[in-house]
Chain A
Amino acid sequence: QSVLTQPPSASGTPGQRVTISCSGSTSNIGSNTVSWYQHLPGTAPKLLIYSNNQRPSGVPDRFSGSKSGTSASLAISGLQSEDEAEYYCAAWDDSLNGLWVFGGGTKLTVL
C-alpha cells in the first residue's frame, strides 16, 4: 500500500492528452514539492518533472506537472507510442523522522 495514491492504469490514443493524478496528505504533497518519474522495465527511472512543475533539460514540453493542496497531476499532451511506460509520483514526507514516499505507479498504455 503506497503512501501516495495513483490510478493503476491510464490509456490514450496517439495525439491525445492524458492526465495522471497523485493524491497525498498534508505531511507530504501538502508540505513539499512533487516529482514525477517515467520508468520502462529494465531501465533506470527517468526524472520528468521536479518541484511540482519544472522540466529537466531534455524533457519535451509535452510533459507538464501541477500541484494543488494535497494532490498533484502529470499531463502528457500529444501522446506518442514511446510514452508507454510506468509513471510514478514522489514527495518528501515530514512524518516520523521524514522519509521519501512514492505513488504505486500508473501504467500508461498508448492504444
Chain B
Amino acid sequence: QLQLQESGPGLVKPPETLSLTCTVSGDSISSGTYYWGWIRQPPGKGLEWIGSVYYSGTTYYNMSLKSRVTISVDTSKNQFSLRLNSVTAADTAVYYCARHPYLRYHFDYWGQGTLVTVSS
C-alpha cells in the first residue's frame, strides 16, 4: 500500500527557510512512472500547487512561487523535498505531498499533510 509522509519543523521564523521532506513507501520514486508534487493549503483558503519533480530531478514550479522554491529528489532514500526561502506569515499552511502519473494528470495519492506555522 502506497504511503506518503511529510516531515519537518512545524514552526519557522520569518524570513528563514521552510524545509520539508516527503518519504515514500510502497513505491519506488526511481521507477520513473510518476511525478511527485507539493501542494499547500493556508488556513481557511483553497489548495495551491507549489511544484512537482520527476525522478530524474526535472522540476516544474508554480511561477508565483518559483523565485523562492526548490524541490529536489533523493532516490537513494526514496524521498523528495521542498525548500521555500524568505518565508512570511502568508506561507503558513498545511503542506501536502502527492503523487501523479503525469504532470498534467490527477494526484492519485496524497500524504495527510503537515502544518507549518511561520511566526517569530
- Residues of A bordering B, CB below 8 Å: 2, 32-33, 35, 37, 42-47, 50-51, 56, 88, 90, 92, 96-105
Contact = CB atoms under 8 A, between A and B. Distances in A.
Q: Is the interface of B mostly helix, strand, loop or mixed?
A: loop
Contacts of B63: 96-97, 99
Given A45-B98, A51-B105, A99-B49, 9 more contacts: A33-B104, A44-B4, A97-B61, A97-B63, A100-B49, A102-B46, A102-B47, A102-B49, A104-B45
B46 A47 contact: no
A56 B108 CA distance: 9
Contacts of A2: 46-47
15 contacts: A2-B46, A32-B104, A33-B106, A37-B110, A44-B109, A44-B110, A47-B108, A47-B109, A50-B105, A92-B105, A96-B63, A97-B60, A97-B63, A102-B46, A103-B46
B49 A101 contact: yes
B111 A90 contact: no
Contacts, number: 67
A99 B63 CA distance: 8
B36 to A, nearest CB: 13
Nearest to B107: A47
Contacts of B49: 99-102
Nearest to B49: A100
A52 B119 CA distance: 40
Nearest to B3: A44
The 5 closest A-B pairs by CB, nearest first: A100-B49, A35-B106, A50-B106, A92-B104, A102-B47
A33 to B, nearest CB: 7
A108 B45 CA distance: 16
